[in-house]
Amino acid sequence: MASKIVDLDAIVPDTFDVKLGGDTYSLPKSVPLETAIKMMKIIDRSGETEEGVGTKVETMEEMFNLLGQIFQAKYPDFTSEKLRSLLTLQQGTVLMGAMVKEVFELKADEEGKEGNP
């Protein structure tokens, strides 16, 4: 029996728009696996309450740096410093959560289309 080939190269993720500082930016719904793992680790750490204050600060710095890298992939002149000047902590956590949601929705949509388990 021939097995079905799932063409991963055919998955062309859309973008989703975010408005920040009066401008609209299109960010990818898909990120490299390494970036997605970093995003999940940051979210996991930010939800823990028994960590020290220093660790929380480091986690927030990691989050803003990673978001800056994601912006820079599409907008090369968009630095982490620019992002930090525009984005509040609350906006950063909402954006990180939205990106994770978009990545997992893409995965679920593609699985449904292909009939994959």
Q: How far apart are CA 65 and CA 82, in angstroms?
A: 11
Q: What is the pLDDT of residue 78?
A: 85
Q: How far apart are CA 68 and CA 84, in angstroms?
A: 8
Each residue of 56-114: pLDDT tens digit?
A: 778 888 888 888 888 998 899 888 788 888 888 888 888 888 888 877 776 555 555 54
Locate the domains of the chain by residue range: 32-111
- pTM for the full predicted model: 0.70
Q: How far apart are CA 67 and CA 12, in angstroms?
A: 21
